[in-house]
Amino acid sequence: MEDLKYTIYVNAEPEEAWKAFVTPEGVRALFFGSVLNSTFEIGAPYEYVGPGNDGENTVHVYGTVLEFEPGRRMSYTEHPGPSYRENHAELETRVTLTLEKVGNATKLTLVNDRWPDGHPSYESTKESWPMILSNAKSWIETGKTMDFGW
């Protein structure tokens, strides 16, 4: 399976863009009402929890923090939540978010790689990352998210 790679440019400093991905208000806005639970230490677990299949406390994805450089880069393994796939523990990919200053803007690159053959979430993930990143750009620049009608 091919790596998923997306690059966008945001009209904000990297530190501001970073907040969208790690602060409670940013995570809630970008990830459809979820919270991100983690200490962000290398090797620590993390989970995105919010409204879903199991009510308000559905674990949407979870994994382990691989890298965490505030304002610059974070990487983690990612598994679908238990209510999405019975074999969730076997379905591991890696997500890496990198922020680079370009003038007064930020180049934001997201790579979701290490897809095991036949991963059942590949196609839906391929569609959802552009929505999440578009939401990120909108929220970072305007303080508002997009309305996808959900």
**Structure-token pair, residue 68:** 């965490």
Instruction: Please state, rounded to an integer, the average pLDDT across all residues of the chain.
Output: 95
User: Tell me: the pLDDT tens digits for 75-95?
Assistant: 999 999 999 999 999 999 999
> E strands within 1-150?
4-10, 35-38, 45-52, 55-69, 73-80, 93-102, 105-113
CB neighbours of residue 27 within 10 Å: 20
pLDDT of 32 reads 84
pTM of the model: 0.93
Domains of the chain, by residue range, sit at: 4-142
Nearest to 31 by CA among 47, 42, 15: 47
Task: Report the CATH number of the 4-142 domain.
Answer: 3.30.530.20
User: Given a cut of 80, is residue 135 above it in pLDDT?
Assistant: yes
CA distance 6 to 8: 7
Amino acid at 64: T
User: Given a cut of 70, is residue 150 above it in pLDDT?
Assistant: no
| Structural contact between residues 64 and 76, judged by C-beta atoms closer than 8 angstroms | yes
